[in-house]
Each structure stands twice: as C-alpha cells, then as structure tokens.
Structure 1
Amino acid sequence: MDCKKYNIFIFMLSYLIFRVVSFTPEGRLAHSSVLVGNKLYFLGGRVSKSCTNQVFYLDLSQSFDLTTPPWISLTQNAGIPFKSCWGTALLNDKEQTIYLFGGLMRNDLNQDAFVSNVYSFNLNSLLWNVPTVEGTPPKRRRNMKGVIDNTGKIYIFGGGTNNAIGSEAEIYFNDMVILNTVELSWVINTDNQPNSSHTYTATLLSNGVIVYIGGKISKKEKQEEKLRFAKGKYRCVGAERKEQYSEAEVSLKIWLIEFQKDGIAITPKMVKTHMKEILINQSRYSLQRKTKIRQKLPIHLDDKLLEFQ
C-alpha cells in the first residue's frame, strides 16, 4: 500500500512539473512586464482579440535554447483577478510587490471589470490585493508607462481613454500621476505640463530625470506641432520625408521631466537633440516607381542630452 501511494505521489509530482515546464505562452500585445532580479515577469496582454489574466516569467539566470524558453506559469494559482491589457506594471523591490495600474480590465464575459486603478501582487505570497490609497484617484486611462524611484513613488504621465474603459470620447491626458506605494497616497500634478501623450516610452535616469520618447498626441496638438516646428524637423525619428536630401539634420523631440526628491514639484522642459549623420535616401517617394521607401534611422544623441545621463 505504501509503495502504491509513493508511486501515485511521484506520478502527480512529475505531472505538475511537466505542466509547468511545458508552458508556452501565445503571441500577444499590450502586456506588461517587470524585471525582478533575474526573472522577467509578464502580466496580461491581448491574445486572440481578447485580454488575458495570465502571469508567467522567464528565468534569465541561466542560458537556454531560444527556440524553447523555460517559461514558468503562475496563472493557475496567481492569475490577475481580471483580464488585463494596455496597463503598466512597476516593482517595489523592497516590498517585493508588483503594482499593476490602469489599462483595460475585463471579466470572463469581456465586460468591464473595473474596481480600482491599481492592484498589488506580492511575489512572496503570490496574492493579489486592492490597496486602499488616500487622496483623489486619477481618471481611468490606458496606453501609458510608469517608472518607480528608490523611495517607492510611481510616476505615470498622460495616457488616454476611450469607450473601452468607460469614456464617451477619446481623451488624451497630460497630467503627472504620482502613487506613493509606501504611504499609499495619490498626488496628481497638472501644472506646467507638456502636450498630452500616450503610447510612449518612459525611462528614469539615476539623477531623477524621466525621459519620454515618442508616443501619440491629439489631432489638435498635432496641428499645433506642425505650425511650431520648421519644415524638415520632425517629432519622431523615422518620420516620412517626401523630399530627398543628400544630407540632413533631423531633430528628435524629447521631453525631460525633472522632479524634486519629494516627488511633487514637476518641471518639464523640451530638449532638442540632433542626429548629425549623412542620411542618403533614407525615406522618400520614388518618382519612377511611385512607391514609398523607408529605412530605420540611427539615433545619436548630442552631448547636451548625454550630460543628463
């Protein structure tokens, strides 16, 4: 009898191990990711036209075959309480807690499942919670990226909203949302901010400067941008050029957002950086074939920006 129990135990253990190791995630977009030590965690994402509640990670401490990455799934016991996509996730390393903010939140019937702007996931207990946060919560939003500093403050700029998250109109934000994950409080700064934007990249430098690159702005602000910048200067690298230049200097618009150590005072400013490279036929309309030719443009930031790094 003991031998049979032992064999059953071994079988079940082998079955569980096989299920974990053999996990292969489907292709997706609009997911969130967080690096925790040597483990890269992935949360949610849009799979087959639907958001998912999946949580899985990839251990980067050891080399592996790129064709068969050793994915580890936590979804069965620690899946997101809702189906998530177009949110942003940040790690409070001291608390070993991931904070998931905003985005689409769906139930199994693909209906809105909004309860809170922010959820927390404890990596030790593998439990999800809705933290009680003091202050006025921000408006719901999607397509934004956050950064977190070493004091546990999360900074989220802009983002957008539409009918998918309960808004009657498509609106872009230009406020700075600050979530203090230690004191659990909101601060929303709307003073002296740059244009509203979403779908950008956000990087926190060691000196307390957040660099935002790219993204989308509203149609109204896009028209203002066209009037503000001279011909031949573009907001995004790789912008279409209908003229052909043998040599060009392309400007890349980068917002540098500085904040004080208390995380409240925000002073945005724009720094123009230039790509001083010979760009021959990088992007043009061919008059002979009437086809558009595009290539990636190399990015070289000038010394003025490098000083901030």
Structure 2
Amino acid sequence: MGQIPTIKPDLRYDYTATLIKDGLYIIGGATPDGKTPNYPFLFLDISIPFDTKQLKWHDLSNLSKNDIVPSHKSAAAIKGGADNNTLFLYGGMNLENNTMSLVCTLNNLSWDTPKINGTPPNGKLFMTPVIDYNGSSSQSYWSSNPSELEVLRQHNTELEAKVAELEVFRQRNTELEVEKAKLEEVWRSRVTLQEKKLPSLKTRMRGSGRN
C-alpha cells in the first residue's frame, strides 16, 4: 500500500468512516457542490503517530474503479465477519447513475458482493449500523433512518407549521391594526366633539366674568 503524504482530499460530506484494527477507511461522499470528490477511497494508518494538520493518507481509490463500488454518498459502513476484518458497505445514493449493489464487502483490499438472505431494510440512505461482538462471532444490525424524501417531507411539514404560525401572527397583527384604527377614530371623535363645545364654553365663561 503506497503512502502519498502530499495528497489533499477534497472537502466532502455524507461519506462513511470505518475503523478496522489500526486503520481508518473513508469511503464515498460528495463535495459541497454534489460532485464526486478526488480520492473517494482513503485509508489512514493510526498505528503510528500522526499530525492532524498534515495527515498522511493512503489513496485506495483504484480499488473502487469498477462496477462494484461506484461514486456514491449517504451509505453506511461497519466492520464484521471473521475476526471483524471485513468492511461491509450498505446502500447509498449513486452519484453517476451507475448500478450499485445493496451490500458490498471489502476484505484484504478486495471488493466483493456477497449473497444476502432474508428481507433487507426498506431504506438504503442514512442508515445507522451497529455491531455486537461476542467472542469470535459478530452480528451486524442495521436501523433505517428516514430516507431523503422523508427528510424533505419532514422539513416541508416543519416549514408549513412555521408558515401557519406566521399566518396567525399576521392575522393577529391585522386585528390589532383594526383595533388601533377604531381607538384612533374614537379619539378623533372625542377631540372633534370637544372642539365643537369649546366656543360655547368660552362664551359662557366670558358671560360669567361680566356678571
């Protein structure tokens, strides 16, 4: 595995990060503008001291240049298998309209698509993998988080609720404006009435002064 300390990986999001023994595997993800990042498959050896400001990444992207693991984001990854040496990659959203298997495994730096029995979870995006290690055996559980469509629907529901609150505020503001206008009209009427009474009041006061 050749080390390339000078590479500078693109900023990315929705990638997977899996720790297997003394190695950290970063797979997939997308750049802020939604494109495939450079070096989509990275490995960091954590068995030796490293500087977080100048990480010495291994580029394993050539292992993904096939039909098994195309460019993707929002997948889930976890270690498992015999001795927890196998990386399981599940689901994800393809970035380049290529066919992508639901489950892929990486063992000894070789990708494979295992045969999966049973019924898979409904979703394949934003999954949360959990591993239960018991002696020499391991089991992996996958809990489905909301799909992107469900997340958008939830956001839309929240926005609609905020719009409804804003409409209530606007309605209340309109009512207050109407109430203010009524009070101002009452005040003007009283002022006008007092102004009309003022001449006769002055006349009476002058008459009272002469007597």
Shorter-chain TM range is 0.5 to 0.7
Provide the residue aligned with 2:150 in structure 1.
Answer: 171
Provide the residue aligned with 1:127 in structure 2.
Answer: 110
**TM-score, scaled to structure 1:** 0.43
Quick one: distance in 1 between partners of 2:30 and 2:60? 18
Higher relative contact order (CA 8 A, sep 6+): 2
Quick one: distance in 2 between partners of 1:51 and 1:116? 18
1:136 to 106, 114, 119: 119
Moved over 4 A (4+): 219-222
Quick one: distance in 1 between partners of 2:111 and 2:91? 15
Q: Note the residue ranges of structure 2 that are not aligned, 5 or more in a row.
A: 159-211
Identity of matched residues, %: 24
Matching of residues 209-228 of structure 1 within 5 Å: 218=154
Matching of residues 1-309 of structure 1 within 5 Å: 20-47=4-31, 48-52=33-37, 54-78=40-64, 81-92=69-80, 94=83, 96-106=85-95, 110-111=96-97, 113-122=98-107, 124=108, 126-150=109-133, 151-162=137-148, 170-171=149-150, 218=154
Relative to total residues, which structure has the larger helix share, 1 or 2? 2
Quick one: distance in 2 between partners of 1:21 and 1:70? 4
**TM-score, scaled to structure 2:** 0.60
RMSD of equivalent CA atoms: 3.0
Larger Rg: 2
Q: Note the residue ranges of structure 1 that are not aligned, 5 or more in a row.
A: 1-15, 163-169, 173-215, 223-309
Provide the residue aligned with 2:208 in structure 1.
Answer: none
8 Å CA contact retained: 1:141, 1:160: no
Cα deviation digits, residues 239-271 of structure 1 (max 9, x gap): xxxxxxxxxxxxxxxxxxxxxxxxxxxxxxxxx
Relative to total residues, which structure has the larger strand share, 1 or 2? 1
Count of residues in Structure 1 that have an aligned counterpart in Structure 2 = 151
